[in-house]
Structure 1
Amino acid sequence: MRVTEIHYPGSPPVDGYGPGFFRVGGEVREGPLLLLPAGIERWDGLGDLDSILEQSDAIDVLLMGMGPEIRPLAPEIRARLEGAGIGVEIMATPPACRTYNVLLGEGRRVAAALLPV
């Protein structure tokens, strides 16, 4: 088997996560987090869509990590994001982190809004 190092163009990958924190690009960040094409930001949660919507032209899909377990997304939040042309995928935070890294490694126009586990 041939193993090659994955390169992540643009944004750094999620290296790890734990109770209340994420490690992104080698740096530990506490609390909810936005991983956007323009950079990493602290996130105020599901009601805070401004930073995401401001970058809608650079995002094809937004992965929303809802914490340790998947939870439904309020229809009005989904409507605002999809109205801006952003596809939304809802999942628990651990698979959202893994999926983000895969899509980022493929060079896709992906963003993530992550609630900690």
Structure 2
Amino acid sequence: MRLNEVTFTDAVPVDGYGPGFFRVGGQPVEGAICLSAKGTQSWGGFDDAAMLLALADEIDVLFVGTGGEIAHLPGDLRSALEEAGIGVEVMNSPSACRTYNVLLSEGRRVAVAALPV
């Protein structure tokens, strides 16, 4: 089996997470986050659609982590994202972070917005 070292482009992967925080680039970040090629930003949760919509020209898929358990996105948020041409995948935050890291390592145009567990 051949193993290759994974390298990331401009965006930084999620290194880990725990109760109320994520670790990004070796640094703990408290609360909800949004990661993309623009960097790491605090995210205001489901009421903060503006931050996510600002990514429309830079990403193809947004992974939304809903915390420790999977939950539905508010209908108006999902509609706004889809109207902006952003593919939306909703899952619990650990799954969203793992999926984001894998696709990021493949050079895909992705972002993750996640609520802490």
Please report the TM-score for the alignment, with normalisation by the length of structure 1.
0.96
- Write the distance in 2 (CA, Å) between the matches of 1:75 and 1:44: 17
* Amino acid paired to 1:71: A
Amino acid at match of 2:15: D
Give the length in aligned residue pairs.
Answer: 117
Contact 1:66 1:114 in 2 (8 A): yes
Q: Secondary structure at the match of 1:7?
A: coil
> Which residue number corresponds to residue 100 of structure 2?
100
Gaps of 5+ in 2: none
Alignment of 1:1-117 (within 5 A): 1-117=1-117
* Amino acid across the alignment from 2:29: R
Spell out, residue by residue over 1:5-35, the C-alpha distance to the aligned partner (whole angstroms, 9 max, x if none): 1101110100000000000111110100011
Distance apart, 1:50 and its partner CA: 1.0
- What TM-score does the superposition give when structure 2 sets the normalisation length? 0.96
The ranges of structure 1 where at least 4 consecutive aligned residues each deviate by more than 2 angstroms after the TM superposition are 1-4
Q: Percent identity?
A: 56
Unaligned runs of 5+ in 1: none
